[in-house]
Chains A and B, each alone.
Chain A
């Protein structure tokens, strides 16, 4: 065992000395390799943590949200719908929700206005999300005016600011009293944006949704599982332009790595010839090259992964912000909990280390089995 370890140490020594002779080329390859692992690992860690967070936070979203559709668009729920729903057996609780969007021309941002059904907000006051507080420079007890779609100006006092830690769900929220909401958006009495339903037996959700669709043909029930599925599929591996861009970068790297690993330079061939001529066996040459592949790809994986972890969970995924922000003015500041998908990390490890190491083998085996004299002369 000791002999074997000594042998491997000697091989690693020789491999490192060999790599050092082509320092610029190998360091360049290592840098590109590490950068690629960093980008792939960052996307994988960020998207998995975000999916996990969204699923946990929205775990108790309304079991069914019922919208009314007019000409393919979401429309207000008119009076009478709640009574009709109340007659459906299995519906435990229902409440009309009041929410809508407001475009603020001052900072060119969209807000989500909402009147919580639980109340708790005085008339003339609002509770705002932390991103809104930051962007509009507001504070508790300061006043703010919004021009309604009717043209009338409404003034509110900021009663409270939602916790900064909740920005991921509340960045653009403006909570207000129901009467203020109805007056601001000129909502007719008895109308709601949509209806949230709770079902007595969770097994019956689909049946209740079917009954709703039957009783109210112009309605569209959205189940909680559909909402959660939306976030389970967000940034999934086959979606989005990020993958299209990344696949180009990955392919370019594969070509580079394949060229480096599969094609031997004249200098490398001469080196193998000399090694064979001084008595190295084919197995030793192959083992040396395996070490070369492992050292480069393992270093790239470890450094790239650790950098990606620090980027996503310690630096808040700062490099993703411009991409995720898009044209939005309000962007939440948030830190994700490091929920790491072990399978994704193992897959990344496998596809980073194994193909490169394997690609090294074929040309080396071919060169190492050829006559040393022929290899040196070629």
Chain B
């Protein structure tokens, strides 16, 4: 039994170590792609990633209006599956009331 289990456990340890090596190599390879995407996002002035394209407030969660979570009427149920994965944008719940805190200087 030991002849079977311990080499398997040793293999699992080596596998774990290999994930660290693989991650370092992959990160290097992905760095070029991430930089290219960064440049594209900067050039086009993009504000969101295109992971959820099913509704406007999931496509651009950072730009969604404050009623995005309640699309049709207050207390409406969420229509889209993505609504179960991501919470409403943080700024909906924690909006900075800039208009109430600062007097206009100019």
Contacts and interface: CB of A to CB of B under 8 A. Distances in A.
B54 interface: yes
Contacts of B49: 53-54, 57-58, 168-169, 231
B23 A101 contact: no
Contacts of A330: 50, 53
Given A171-B53, A229-B91, A295-B9, A211 B105 contact: yes
A202 interface: no
B54 A210 contact: no
A111 to B, nearest CB: 8
Contact of B53 (A231, A299, A329): A329
Interface residues of B, number: 69
A205 B46 CA distance: 19
Given A109-B53, A299-B9, A303-B12, A217 B99 contact: yes
A211 B106 contact: yes
Contact of A61 (B5, B15, B46): B46
A242 B99 CA distance: 37
B55 A110 contact: yes
Contacts of B102: 207, 210-211, 213-214
Contacts of B104: 211, 214-215
Given A57-B41, A214-B103, A112 B47 contact: no
Contact of A210 (B46, B51, B53, B101): B101
Contact of B65 (A54, A73, A209): A73
Contacts, number: 242
A256 interface: no
Contacts of A56: 34, 38
Nearest to B60: A112
A313 B1 contact: no
A239 B105 CA distance: 40
B36 interface: yes
Nearest to A67: B63
Contacts of B23: 309, 313, 338, 340
A56 B27 CA distance: 13
A241 B84 contact: yes
Interface in B10-40: 12-13, 15-16, 18-20, 22-23, 26-27, 30-31, 33-34, 36-38, 40
Given A165-B33, A231-B49, A302 B15 contact: yes
B38 A57 contact: yes
Contact of B90 (A65, A162, A229, A295): A229
A129 B44 contact: no
A221 B5 CA distance: 60
Interface string A55-94: 0111111100101010011100000000000011100000
A223 B94 CA distance: 13
A118 B44 CA distance: 8
Contacts of A110: 53-56, 59
A295 B4 CA distance: 13
B98 to A, nearest CB: 4
Contacts of B27: 337-339
Given A302-B16, A337-B31, A328 B90 contact: no
Contacts of A298: 9
Interface in A290-332: 295, 298-299, 302-303, 305-306, 309, 313, 323-324, 326-332
16 contacts: A19-B1, A57-B49, A58-B47, A60-B41, A73-B65, A95-B45, A112-B59, A214-B99, A214-B103, A222-B62, A235-B86, A299-B12, A303-B15, A313-B22, A332-B50, A335-B30
Which 10 residue pairs of A and B lie closest in terms of their CB atoms, listed nearest first?
A210-B102, A337-B30, A326-B81, A302-B12, A338-B23, A328-B54, A213-B99, A241-B84, A227-B62, A214-B104
Given A74-B63, A167-B50, 4 more contacts: A57-B38, A170-B40, A170-B50, A211-B106
